[in-house]
Structure 1
Amino acid sequence: MFPTLFRRMAASAKEPLLRRAPLSVVNNPYKARKVWPPNFKELTVQQQLRFEKKYKRRIMLASRSPRWEKGVKLAQLITIVAALVWILFYSEFEWWGQKYKPSEEIRRKTNYLFGVVDPEKRYERRKDAPPPPPPKGEEESK
């Protein structure tokens, strides 16, 4: 097993790599089937139209950017949702002849993320929480 491996590693390549590396129009092994772009003076009107459509389609496909489109759609969605939240929770306006003003309770709850970070409840402990540790300045009772 190892002698074969060493023999193959020591053998030279069939073709030098540098001779194949720089591809050009002359030594390209993959020849094009058709000349692109075609000479439009030799084509009929129908063939010209077909090639124009093909070229436009290729340009459109090459210019597509799915990540950019997804980002733009996400930004639009976030903007619309933020505008609706602002309109419903914070703005005061007239709706079909009636004044609309969101209640102070709704405003307060949304300001503090529905009570999660409410400053009034910041230092409250849950009923099922363990007792707090004693302050470090005081000695523990013996």
Structure 2
Amino acid sequence: MLSTLARRTAFTAAAAPKRPPLTVFTNPYQPKKVWPPDYAQLSFQEQLRFEKKYKRRVMLACARPRWDKGVKLAQLVTVVGVVGWLVFFSELEFYGKSYKPSEEIGKSVGTIFGIFSEENRYDRNPDGLNTNTEPRKPNPRG
């Protein structure tokens, strides 16, 4: 390792051998197979195999799973939001009859179907925690 480092530092830039740039014609490494193959010389089965291989490689190279999942999720949210807005809040006219959603529907959707409404704000769930602060009475039996 030390000898290689000493040899490389001894050469100057002018003394370094000039190599032509690496191109298709000056490449010293020859490929094992010619690509793309000559389809006129291949049988039908070999052509089909090459087409399948090429299609599979293109699909793998172009696959973007996170991007596709994000796009699908954005499409779903957009469609559900637009349909929900049309059903619950918009005033439309169908075949000459006007459709006006009732205020109760808009109010129930706006308060998440009544869970967070003003009337139910302080109601307690019977299955919930007991928030009673009164101390327990001792049992007379002991």
Q: Give the Å deviation of 1:126.
A: 5.0
CA RMSD of aligned residues (A): 3.2
Alignment identity in percent? 46
Q: Which amino acid aligns with 2:64?
A: S
Q: Give the Å deviation of 1:76.
A: 1.3
Bigger helix share = 1
Unaligned runs of 5+ in 2: 1-30, 135-142
Unaligned runs of 5+ in 1: 1-33, 135-142
Q: Which residue of 1 aligns with 2:32?
A: 35
Q: Give the Å deviation of 1:79.
A: 1.3
Q: Give the Å deviation of 1:112.
A: 0.2
Runs of 4 or more, structure 1, over 6 Å off, are: none
Query: Number of paired residues?
Result: 98
Q: Which residue of 1 aligns with 2:5?
A: none
Q: Give the Å deviation of 1:73.
A: 1.8
Report the secondary structure of 2:73's partner residue.
helix
Q: Which residue of 2 aligns with 1:117?
A: 116
| Shift in alpha-carbon separation, 1:128–1:56, aligned structure 2, 3 A | closer
Give the alignment of 1:65-84 within 5 angstroms.
65-84=64-83
In 1, Cα distance between equivalents of 2:63 and 2:131: 60
| Shift in alpha-carbon separation, 1:108–1:35, aligned structure 2, 3 A | same
Q: Which amino acid aligns with 1:133?
A: T
TM-score under structure 1 normalisation?
0.53
